[in-house]
Chain A
Amino acid sequence: MDPLKFLGPVIVLAGILGFVTYAILFERKILGWMQSRPGPNQLGPWGMLQTVADVLKLWMKEDTIPNNADRPLFKMAPVIAFVPSFAVIAVIPFSPSIVFADLGVGLLYFIAISGITTIGILVGGWASNNKYALIGSMRSVAQMISYEIPLVLSIVGVILAVGSLNMSDIVLKQEKMWFIVPQFLGFVVFFIAMLAELARTPFDLPEAESELVAGYFVEYSGFRFAFFMLAEYVYVFAMSALTTILFLGGWNPLFGLTFIPPIIWFLLKVFFLVFVIIWLRGSLPRVRLDQLMQMGWKVLLPLSLVNIFLSALLKEVPFIQAFF
């Protein structure tokens, strides 16, 4: 194996860290504009160095571990939460040629590995030995496992159409028509479940500042806290990339504009989804916990089951069966 190939993951890691740095800045900027205020604008031109300064500050903060905490678990939790968030990016095809791990079970790998983060959150909340942290982590986990079901089942329609779990195969199948059109119901369920998995507004209950202080990471400080935040933003990228691959045609160009390279198309779609996620945060209020749980189990889960059978039955209808 070409040793140069190992440079790829390092470049991806650097790219992801750069993405997170500027995603946080843009989130604060966009929220600022939506609320008629400038947002961060002091450090560097246009506030470009704000997040860099924040990270440096967190790095030099004292690392406080509560006396009552379960120390080994407390130290492990941020790592358990972060590692899967970066590991899932291995299977994402950025373009026809830039695929790091072309696994036959790529989609299953993504879903399975991303579930591990839930354990990191549970461990962090438990090990803190703090009531807020425990309640916050319980809520997070309840939310995440409730929405993982519709998330996983809404994809089955796409798998039915492709007949493969390989990410590149899924993108290649969408050359004529993106799955957002034939799989619209699946897309809606997937997108809502994705927002809940990411704990983004309107489903940001785990971090409800007004009732739980900050949720499961209330006892964390310094860089351990930073790794929980980093995991969250890396997931914003990973989940946007997954949505792009499953429903928005991956690297396939729009309007036949093939002179733009595929990787640019892919990143444009991912950044558009990231913007939509931030946009929703600026527009929507937070739902209540009972509304959240009922929506997951009583609306999204039945809808995702209906979607499976609808997709399978539409395969029988002449003229349109090619799309399912």
Chain B
Amino acid sequence: MESYLMVAVFFALALALPIAALTLGKFLRPHQPTVEKGLSYESGVDPIGDSWIQFNARYYLYALLFVIFDVGAVFLYPWAVSYNVLHSEMGLLILASAAIFILFLVVGLVYAWKNKVLEWK
């Protein structure tokens, strides 16, 4: 319990530093906004059109792959922690069960690979 209190202290400190620094900075820094200063930077030219545009759907595919494998990792961590205990009970069956699980993930990866999702062009 004390450990989690320590984690909270670290979070509080990490939050306090930027808030304190930015609040103190208010008294140090000038504040003279003009319309030109407030323009978005576009290599010195007046910005054209909206910047909140549609972007490439490829990013979405990577995000999907990420979620699949990250959830896989979440399952593999407890498996790895308890491997020694389970191994003494079930033998190599415990390795085989993880192999089957990862096989499903690998099938997904191979599918993405074959469909050229992983090529960046």
Interface residues of A (CB under 8 A from B): 1, 5-6, 8-10, 13, 59-68, 78-79, 82-87, 89-91, 100-103, 108-109, 126, 128-135, 138, 141-142, 145-146, 148-149, 152-153, 156, 159-160, 163-165, 213, 218-219, 222-224, 227, 289-290, 293-294, 297-298, 301-302, 305, 308-309, 312-313, 315-316
Contacts and interface: CB of A to CB of B under 8 A. Distances in A.
Interface residues of B, number: 68
B57 to A, nearest CB: 12
Contacts of B85: 163
Interface of B: 2-7, 9-11, 13-15, 17-19, 21-22, 25, 28-33, 35, 37-43, 47, 51-53, 55-56, 59, 62-63, 65-66, 69-70, 73, 76-77, 80-85, 87, 92, 95, 98-99, 102, 106, 109, 112-113, 118-121
A224 B22 contact: yes
Contact of B102 (A102, A129, A160, A305): A305
Nearest to B87: A315
10 contacts: A9-B6, A67-B35, A101-B3, A129-B52, A148-B70, A219-B40, A308-B80, A308-B98, A312-B98, A315-B87
A163 B31 contact: no
Nearest to B99: A309
Nearest to B18: A79
Cβ-closest 10 pairs across A and B: A67-B38, A86-B14, A290-B120, A159-B80, A90-B10, A101-B6, A145-B66, A101-B3, A83-B14, A152-B73
